[in-house]
Amino acid sequence: MNVFVQAENSSLVSEDTSSNFYLEKIQLLKQKIGKTPLVHIDNVNGSSIYAKLEYYNPLSHSVKDRPAVYMLEAAIKQGLVTSDNVTFVEASSGNLGIAYGRAGKFLGLKTLIVIPSVVGEKTFKRISETGTAVEKTPDGYCPLRNERDGAIAKVKDLFLDDPNMMWLDQYSNQNNFRAHIEGTGPEIWSQTEKRVTNIVLGVGTGGTMVGITRYLKAENPEIESVAVQPQEDHHIQGLRNFSESLEPEIVRSNRDAIDDWMKVSDADAFEATEYLWRKGYLVGTSSGLNYFAARKIAKENKGSTVVTLFPDTCLNSFKLTQEYIVGKSF
């Protein structure tokens, strides 16, 4: 059974009584998610750097609340909740799993999160505490790529073997980036009073980058987008380097939305994270990576308005970042 959810079809599906019950609860969640602050971080070379503080989202304190709720909403509209035995399974390295688990518990849906072997015990515990079932993939489950892809490989096996397992697949699901076309993108456009000139974002599934960029470029085709990848063999949770892991379908199908690519080292990302902590933003290492890249773009484009995201908090990053800080300051 193919449960890939097409965004444009989701509103066309008839809704039975049970679906209406779930959708009413979904609307309560959607009222609480998004509308996050956009704050001015720095002035560099006559350019302004702004960041969306996505840790204001209530489920996972991360940007992943947005796609989690959108994907579940579309699945409910498509009638995929067929019985109490249905379990929504997803591969995640952290925040999506937390958001998915908490949304599922609120809605009364069963969820199962499969996490890569490289994910630490702290993240494992945070996901488990949402009430979802959690499984960890062993090393080498997907030997052709790396451990992060092992979780996806395992979900595919579970999905194929059990008809009660519903996999919405955040790596290819159009509702992942639809959440940002309808939410994050318009928020940035309004909050910058239409002045945004550059959008700079790290890439994991690609949903945030693709959705925001699609919306902003529709408003102003001159806006430049830069997708940021971590180094090979990196330690930044939630992001991917496509030379060592599978390229998500969302990215592969929407490369035309991305104007340029940048790579940022762990050392630079962790150093930037420490700098943000000193400024009072207790964010994760993906935020440091985003800020480092945004600062570089600001330096290269005098007078620009550069926008990025701080995707989450430092809950999973503090110890790791302290271990890898190299001491160079901005």
Segment 142-160, tens digit of pLDDT: 444 455 577 788 888 877 7
Residue 322 has pLDDT above 60, yes or no: no
The better pLDDT of the pair 135, 82 is held by: 135
Q: Which of 106, 204, 98 shows the shortest CA–CA distance to 152? A: 204
Reported as a single tens digit per residue, the pLDDT across 40-59 is: 999 999 999 999 999 999 99
**Domains delineated in the chain:** 28-58+175-324 (3.40.50.1100), 64-167 (3.40.50.1100)
191-250 per-position pLDDT tens digit: 999 999 999 999 999 999 999 999 999 999 999 999 999 998 778 877 888 888 788 999
| Residue 138, burial from CB neighbour count under 10 angstroms (0-12, 13-18, 19+) | exposed
Half-sphere exposure of 47 (CA within 13 A, CB side): 20
Structure tokens at 231: 């180094």
The tokens for 10 are: 């989701």
Percent of the residues in the chain that have a pLDDT greater than 90, as a whole number: 66
Most confidently modeled range among 5-19, 74-88, 116-130:
74-88
